[in-house]
């Protein structure tokens, strides 16, 4: 793919996308970031030229990838529009925001959503990350699809409605589970016990859900209907009412017959 790409945003997603686009030989002609440090970090690693004000953005790129916070997608697209970038393909990287937020700012718009959790400090194998692609025109959809194939073996055409649903499911399997891991961490920390004790359990839980239907692998007092153990856990959590409430809610959801 010889089209030139301009990256807007050098946060968690922008950083990883920028690195992998360059690794895969794509032509990234610049990165815009409000934060100088983040743009510099990406620039030093990849050689992508960086800028910090919208009027420094190269108006001749073929594709503008908007890897900015969801609330900033429309304002960033508006800034490009105000600079006269109007007939270029704009694509954002969000699971939660419809592609139509870009419609007022270009005749050509789409989505390039990598379905993974990104943190700058983590090295990722991009080739395994599902890329959810969408565009309002067939040619642009093909362009984004081919770009996706440069990065990943798993590229899918996913429309706004499907992506919104995927995002809800992703919040359950990633954001909520991560929050629950932190709850486990906090409980052990209060008792001066090491989180290392839980690491093998976390690994086996993840390994099982990759191989089986999660509900078939459910263990623990709730699914066993073990009221006495559930009561003891609730008693232990009395001093942490928010965690106790969360425990009740999840227990009830696993087994509505228990008294919680």
Ligand X SMILES: NC(=O)c1ccc[n+]([C@@H]2O[C@H](COP(=O)([O-])OP(=O)(O)OC[C@H]3O[C@@H](n4cnc5c(N)ncnc54)[C@H](OP(=O)(O)O)[C@@H]3O)[C@@H](O)[C@H]2O)c1
Interaction pattern, residues 49-68, with ligand X; x per rule: CB under 6 A:
------------------xx
Q: What is the nearest approach in angstroms of ligand X to the Cβ of residue 10? A: 5
Q: Quick check: 78 and 54 in contact, CB under 8 A?
A: no
Q: Is residue 156 within the footprint of ligand X (CB under 6 A)?
A: no
Give the nearer residue to ligand X in terms of CB position, either 116 or 255: 116
Cβ closest to ligand X, residue 41 vs residue 234: 41
Interacting stretch for ligand X, rule CB under 6 A, among 112-120, 127-135, 211-219, 236-244? 112-120
Does position 78 bind ligand X by CB under 6 A? no
Residue from 21, 22, 63, 76 in contact with ligand X (CB under 6 A): 76
Q: How many residues bind ligand X (CB under 6 A)?
A: 25
Piece of the chain touching ligand X by CB under 6 A; list 87-95, 100-108, 215-223, 234-242: 87-95
Binds ligand X (CB under 6 A): choice among 9, 18, 30, 148: 9
Among 5, 6, 7, 13, indicate the residue that binds ligand X (CB under 6 A).
13
**What is the DSSP pairing of strand 27-32 with strand 109-114?**
unpaired
Cβ pair 54, 32 in contact under 8 A: yes
DSSP H helices in the chain:
12-23, 36-46, 70-82, 138-151, 160-170, 177-190, 199-211, 221-224, 227-236, 241-254
Q: Residue 12 or residue 244: which is nearer to ligand X going by CB?
A: 12
33 binds ligand X (CB under 6 A): yes
The correct pick among 38, 50, 163, 233 for binding ligand X (CB under 6 A) is 38
**Residues 4, 12, 227, 240: which binds ligand X (CB under 6 A)?**
12
Q: CB of 87 within 8 A of CB of 28?
A: no
Least distance from ligand X to the Cβ atom of residue 40, Å: 12
Residue position matching structure tokens 């990598």: 114
Pick the closer one to ligand X by CB: 120 or 252.
Answer: 120
- Smallest distance from ligand X to CB 239, Å: 33
Report the residue number, 131 or 260, with the smaller CB distance to ligand X: 131
Q: What CA–CA distance (Å, rounded) separates 64 from 139?
A: 16
- Whether the CB-CB separation of 51 and 27 falls below 8 Å is answered with no
Q: Determine the distance from the C-alpha atom of residue 181 to the mean position of all C-alpha atoms in its chain, rounded to a whole number.
A: 18
Q: What is the dihedral sign for C-alpha 122, 126, 129, 134? A: positive
23 touches ligand X (CB under 6 A): no
Closest CA to 11 of 40, 33, 36: 33
Binding of ligand X at residue 69 (CB under 6 A)?
yes
For residue 234, CA distances in Å to 169, 193, 208, 238 come to 28, 20, 27, 6
- Rounded CA-CA distance 98/1 in Å is 26
Residue from the set 51, 72, 154, 209 that interacts with ligand X by CB under 6 A: 72
């Amino acid at each position: 793919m010889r089209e030139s790409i301009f990256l807007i945003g050098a946060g968690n997603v922008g950083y990883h996308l920028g690195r992998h686009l360059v690794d895969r030989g794509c032509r990234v002609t610049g990165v815009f970031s409000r934060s100088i440090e983040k743009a510099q970090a990406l620039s030093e690693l990849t050689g992508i030229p960086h800028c910090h004000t919208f009027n420094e953005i190269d108006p001749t790129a073929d594709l503008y990838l908007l890897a900015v916070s969801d609330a900033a997608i429309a304002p960033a697209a508006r800034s490009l529009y105000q600079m006269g970038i109007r007939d270029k393909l704009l694509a954002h990287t969000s699971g939660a925001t419809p592609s139509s937020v870009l419609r007022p700012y270009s005749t050509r718009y789409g989505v390039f959503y990598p379905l993974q959790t990104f943190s700058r400090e983590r090295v990722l194998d991009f080739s395994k990350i599902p890329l959810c692609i969408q565009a309002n025109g067939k040619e642009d959809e093909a362009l984004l699809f081919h770009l996706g194939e440069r990065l990943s073996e798993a590229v899918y055409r996913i429309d706004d409605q499907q992506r919104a649903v995927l995002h809800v499911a992703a919040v359950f399997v990633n954001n909520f589970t991560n929050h629950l891991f932190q709850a486990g961490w906090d409980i052990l920390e209060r008792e001066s016990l090491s989180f290392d004790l839980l690491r093998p359990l976390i690994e086996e839980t993840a390994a099982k859900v990759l191989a089986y239907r999660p509900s078939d692998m459910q263990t623990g007092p709730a699914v066993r209907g073990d009221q006495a153990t559930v009561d003891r856990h609730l008693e232990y959590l009395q001093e942490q009412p928010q965690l106790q409430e969360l425990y009740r809610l999840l227990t009830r959801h696993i087994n509505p017959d228990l008294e919680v």
